[in-house]
Structure 1
Amino acid sequence: MSTDPIRVTDPAAITDTASMVLALNVFQRLMTAEPGESVLKPDAARDCLFTSSTTYTCTLNKKLYFHDGNPLTSSDVKFSIERAARLAISGSSTALLSSLRRIETPDPMTVRFVLSRVDTQFGWALASPAASIVDQHTYDADEVRPPSAPIIGSGPFTVSSFHGKELRLERYRNYVGRNPARMNSLVYRTAPDSASIEEAMSKRSVDVVWRGLNAAAITRFRQRAARSSDERTADGYRMRELTGVRIHELEWAPESPMRPNKALRQAVTAALQEDRTLDSILPGGVPGHVSSLPVGGRAAPKVTWSNRIQLTLAYDPTMPDGRDIATQIRTRLEDTGGLSVRVRPEESNADLILVDRKAWTATALAWLQPYLEAPLPASKAAVARAERDYRSTTDDAEATKHLVFLQTQAAQDGVVLPLSQGEEYLFAREGVDVNENSFGPGWQLGLFGMKSG
């Protein structure tokens, strides 16, 4: 159970972490990785490797089938990735495929990706949701598949039903890949708020809780578990803490008329310094991270305009503590004396957007994506050049140099502001085992690693 709703069921169109849960468990990609790790592992592929500086070749596993019984071949891989590139959904992981020139399928088991330039990071693009493999005989090449349509992948689970707030899954017995399901069936339910999840836990009507509990509830459960000899809550749940995997950012909407105002951006950045615990858009622990923004202490935002500027701050109401965090941000901004901020849930015309995100994979490029997609116009050429040079180099020192530049430039531009890096929590009822690898490459929830005793 979670407050994270599955909004999108077509993997090529996924832009949010919750919908990635569906993609991770129902669809396959050629490659994957252990949670938070920087080494690629094969999934639908038997292996993938560079056969030249601009050719990445994958060999598929044998006996791959979609949930509808159709065989999965290299032709489906080509269709799926070309389809994702064609749809080019803003905010999806399609941007990671930017170096792709064409796809060749010399036989049903072989996929050859021909790149337009050297791109050492291309394998990671094939581990992202936009690279999920769909059945070419079922999915439209030019349209996003609506949630009401059948959801057909080749992953560890098949979808028996999906009705907005409830996803029912069955173990796919013909699955061939890295993450076979440990349970025959399970249900992913979306709850409206933290109180609803607490009530379900008190009734023991839920086995696993992933996100959704607010800070007060987590504190209560932690205190109760600390007093227990078996480290469980009074209702029999064990808390698992995932350190440093929850990231909050504040993004300037690219279409905001206030975004080009440099003095305003600098004032917003300074106003949030006291509460900031993350000093770069690249989180701590990700290779290449470098401190690029001050954290803590007393900042002095400079208000150089005479009349208060009106801003709108949007947040996702399903985000744990989302309203409280957004309200705290408003307080800091209004304390400058030069801003008035309206806080609105899911406001499409907002100037600022509070984001609770996970990268598609635990790579620098995936974390940098929101900035790389929308830098300031004056920085665009230099940012694009640094990204291209980072992708092309095989020298660690050279790669770090480019990452330092990108993080520093992002801090100067101030259009994607890191706020905090904290913990994510999972609660499992007594008798339920969630193994250590029950997560995706970017710490998305993997239902395949769960088992009820």
Structure 2
Amino acid sequence: MTRPLLRAATVTLAVGATALALTGCASGASSADSSEPLVIGTTDAIVSLDPAGAWDRGSFTPQNQIYQHLLSYEPGNTTPVPEAAESCDFDDATTYSCTVKKGLKFSNGHALTASDVVFSFERILKINDPSGPAPLLSGIDSIEQKGDLGVVFHLKTANDQTFPYVLSSMGGPIVDEQVFPADKLLADAKVIGSGPYAISDYSKKGLLSLTANTHYDGTAPKTKNVVLKAYADSSNLKLDIQKEGIDIAYRSLTSTDVADLEKDSKLQVVSGPGGSVRFLVFNKDAQPGADDAQKLAIRQAVATLIDRDDIAKNVFKGTYAPAYSLVLDGQNGATKTFADLYGAKPSVERATQILADAGVSTPVTLPIQYTSDHYGPDSSSEYATIKSQLEESGLFTVDLQSTEWTSYVKQRADYPAYQLGFFPDYPDPDNFLRSGYSSTGGSVVNGLTSPEIDAAIEKEATASDPAERTKDIEAVQTLVAKSAGIIPLLQGQETVVAVKGVTGLKDTLDATYKFRFAALARG
């Protein structure tokens, strides 16, 4: 999408049916009468329910039900609008002010004020947990409170066109300063928010039980009680949805499982924009190669040999498509720079020449690590295919290893080459570009950031003219593709399997990428 001009980034509480769909008009509205919980199964692991301790999809899904943000999205609309805020606006190029809505309460009855908002942002930055979202807030210079309801953000970068999106991201949940410690994480079972649901019970390796928050100021959830059930693997998830032991299977069934379940008359398969991208990361300090030139050649040779079409067709059965950039097809400024530089089809001849020119002896021994439980059950087949593609060239010997996500996320900086994937924090190209390549706002550890890349990212993020910003986004993609520190592989859609009669899935599978439990109900 094209970013509006600076002043167009103003967001004010609208009046009308669409605004009410997000923000509601009165507290105490009643949700569905049935106390029978809606059970949602997932293989995604929850790293932390404390917003300061997680920056991953498995944690984002439940956090999105528990907390409010200053800004969020109406279903189907990717422009940020007020949620806990009454209004937000740029005062000048580096000052962004929000007014908190009057009368908001956390699920424990405590008032939600500007003091809680300032505390929430400063806390994430102070704790700076290695698994947390602090990099998303790297553009904030300081935050100040103005009275009971006013919050002023002083930004490091003038004309930051992404900041309203950041407020709606995993860096923006508002927590109760009377409950959360300022300098450490809170136990998951004790977290408190002001969103549509509150925790009624949580077992770390079992079930997360949520119940409608009676203090929520928005539209009441359609289902009072929801249970998020964790699965170690997709086979049991598939079995339970087939037996109707759960209502919804949400992330992640294998592509083969989805194709099989589509034939079941008791079930429905619903798909929507996924926004995800899968990629291979090289760690310059740990990867093979005698010097920087050889390391670059090895990365470029791998980029030349991977057959994305083969993986998309034979591993993911068409539920993913080839990706040649971290900016996804259809987004503003999307290009296919990896296809342009390294070819859309694999070439052993080109890869051989790249390695020979750098004096690299072959076959190169390349350790590749992937996570066995975080990016879906097809990961093992995906990386087995990549191993075969590289080894069949005769240029590589791949040492393939897997690790569970809870350990993987802490150890990935030590891996020579490793699997990662992004699910967007907000629906703008800057999100993936910054997360992948920035030295200050990035989440990828690979030793391949540079002042030149940082400057290019800041340029696209602050361009107020839409046409110029598109060109700047294209330029960043060309720059980072040359170093091949991140090799884009696949981009996908979101697919959910549910028992017939479950409603609301179409209303929450949209380009905002926020799965809303409150929209779901049994028919």
- TM above 0.5, yes or no, is yes
Of 398, 403, 428 in structure 1, the residue corresponding to residue 498 of structure 2 is: 428
Quote the offset at 1:339 in angstroms: 2.0
Larger deviation, residues 202-211 vs 93-102: 93-102
Task: Name 1:299's counterpart in structure 2.
Answer: 347
Identity of aligned residues (%): 25
Per-residue CA deviations over 1:394-443 (Å, capped at 9, x if unaligned) read: 11122112211111112111111111123321112122112434258652
Task: Name 1:280's counterpart in structure 2.
Answer: 325
Structure 1, unmatched stretches of 5+, are 225-232
Quote the offset at 1:94 in angstroms: 2.6
Contact 1:12 1:132 in 2 (8 A): no
Larger deviation, residues 252-261 vs 51-60: 252-261
Q: Which amino acid is the alignment partner of residue 406 of structure 1?
A: V
Larger deviation, residues 165-174 vs 31-40: 31-40
Contact 2:285 2:446 in 1 (8 A): no
1:5 aligns with 2:39: no
Task: Name 2:516's counterpart in structure 1.
Answer: 446
Cα pair distance change 1:19/1:204, threshold 3 Å: same
Task: Name 2:215's counterpart in structure 1.
Answer: 174
Q: Which amino acid is the alignment partner of residue 127 of structure 1?
A: S
Quote the offset at 1:6 in angstroms: 1.3
Larger deviation, residues 273-282 vs 313-322: 273-282
For 2:44 and 2:462, the matched residues in 1 are separated by: 36
Contact 2:136 2:171 in 1 (8 A): no
Quote the offset at 1:34 in angstroms: 4.4
1:383 aligns with 2:428: no
Task: Name 2:304's counterpart in structure 1.
Answer: 270
Quote the offset at 1:378 in angstroms: 7.2
Task: Name 1:367's counterpart in structure 2.
Answer: 432
2:506 is paired with a residue of what secondary structure? coil
Quote the offset at 1:113 in angstroms: 0.9
Larger deviation, residues 34-43 vs 275-284: 34-43
Per-residue CA deviations over 1:282-335 (Å, capped at 9, x if unaligned) read: 011222212211164242322332243332222222223111111111112222
1:340 is paired with a residue of what secondary structure? strand
Quote the offset at 1:89 in angstroms: 3.4
1:342 is paired with a residue of what secondary structure? strand
Structure 2, unmatched stretches of 5+, are 1-40, 312-321
1:129 is paired with a residue of what secondary structure? coil
Runs ≥4 residues deviating over 6 A: 375-378
1:392 aligns with 2:447: no
Task: Name 1:337's counterpart in structure 2.
Answer: 394
Contact 2:280 2:487 in 1 (8 A): yes
Quote the offset at 1:265 in angstroms: 0.6
* TM-score normalised by length of structure 2: 0.79
Cα pair distance change 1:254/1:65, threshold 3 Å: farther
Of 385, 404, 410 in structure 1, the residue corresponding to residue 474 of structure 2 is: 404
Contact 1:214 1:321 in 2 (8 A): yes
Cα pair distance change 1:174/1:378, threshold 3 Å: closer
Contact 2:278 2:491 in 1 (8 A): yes
Task: Name 1:134's counterpart in structure 2.
Answer: 175
Task: Name 1:229's counterpart in structure 2.
Answer: none
Contact 1:3 1:194 in 2 (8 A): yes
Q: CA RMSD in A?
A: 2.3
Task: Name 2:422's counterpart in structure 1.
Answer: 357
Cα pair distance change 1:321/1:398, threshold 3 Å: same
Quote the offset at 1:220 in angstroms: 1.4
Structural mapping, 1:232-271, within 5 Å: 233-234=264-265, 236-243=266-273, 245-253=275-283, 256-258=286-288, 260=292, 261-271=295-305
Contact 1:83 1:141 in 2 (8 A): yes
Structure (1 or 2) with the greater helix fraction: 2
Quote the offset at 1:444 in angstroms: 4.0
1:241 is paired with a residue of what secondary structure? strand
2:452 is paired with a residue of what secondary structure? helix
Task: Name 2:22's counterpart in structure 1.
Answer: none
For 2:221 and 2:138, the matched residues in 1 are separated by: 32
Task: Name 2:28's counterpart in structure 1.
Answer: none
Of 71, 93, 101 in structure 1, the residue corresponding to residue 111 of structure 2 is: 71
Task: Name 1:413's counterpart in structure 2.
Answer: 483
Structural mapping, 1:31-42, within 5 Å: 31-34=71-74, 37-42=77-82
Q: How many residues align?
A: 441
Cα pair distance change 1:390/1:35, threshold 3 Å: farther
Contact 2:324 2:338 in 1 (8 A): yes
Task: Name 2:94's counterpart in structure 1.
Answer: 54
